Homo-oligomer: A and B are copies of this chain.
Amino acid sequence: MATPAASAPRWTRLEHDERREQILACARRLFSERHFAAVSTAQIACEAGVTRGLVHHYFGAKRALYLEVVREMVRVRPIPEEVAAGTPRERVDLAIDRWLTMVERNRGTWLAALGAEGFGRDADVEAILAEARETAAAWLIAGVGLERPGGAPDAVRAAVHAFAGMAEAASREWLEHNRLSRAQAHDLLTGTLLTLIHDLLPRLEGST
């Protein structure tokens, strides 16, 4: 940040949001590669070319900054798309395809957000993740045409959540462990979701 010129300012003044975004970007990167305790505010500040005090000025506490990073990471998940038309099979196919594309596109971020790299979880983090999951589930329910007037029943939402757990695990197997190709993951998830919709959900809605 220092320039060779003698009379040059020792530091430059940035717009509030601009500086905030800069610090956030550094924090995002560091928290992605190391876990919470292994990242110090001094390191974040150093990477951003500012002092530790400024980080605190913008985010209050390290923890708040951390939660902000998590919140931003899971925000990539819901992708707004128009509801697809066609047969159930086609809609499921498309929904899965979009999911996989999203995951692939945000590969690094997504893996980090899911806890593959390093992450500190607690009640707050879990709340953020839970909300993101709820959004993703709602998106999936809408995408394959499962919505009912008055919203989907609890059991259906729960089943979709369960399926989302499978989708996450399958995506990890594909992107992280390379034990599944994209096509295989697609097949696996499509087949499972179709079974879920045709055979399992109707039975679920009738039982307790």
Residues of chain A whose beta carbon lies under 8 Å from any beta carbon of chain B: 34-38, 63, 115-123, 126, 154-155, 157-159, 161-170, 172-174, 177, 179-181, 183-185, 187-189, 191-192, 195-196, 199-200, 203-204, 207-208
Contacts and interface: CB of A to CB of B under 8 A. Distances in A.
Which secondary structure characterizes the binding site on chain A? Answer: helix
9 contacts: A155-B184, A157-B179, A159-B170, A161-B173, A161-B179, A165-B166, A165-B167, A165-B169, A191-B199
A117 B116 CA distance: 18
Contacts of A179: 154-155, 157-158, 161
Contact of A200 (B126, B183, B191): B191
Contacts of A117: 122-123, 126
Nearest to A130: B177
A166 B192 CA distance: 11
Given A159-B173, A161-B169, 19 more contacts: A116-B126, A117-B123, A117-B126, A118-B122, A118-B126, A120-B121, A121-B121, A155-B179, A158-B174, A158-B177, A158-B179, A159-B170, A162-B188, A165-B167, A181-B208, A191-B196, A191-B199, A192-B192, A192-B200
Given A191-B200, A199-B191, A121 B119 contact: yes
Contacts of A187: 200, 203-204, 207
Contacts of A123: 35, 117-118
A35 to B, nearest CB: 3
A161 B201 CA distance: 22
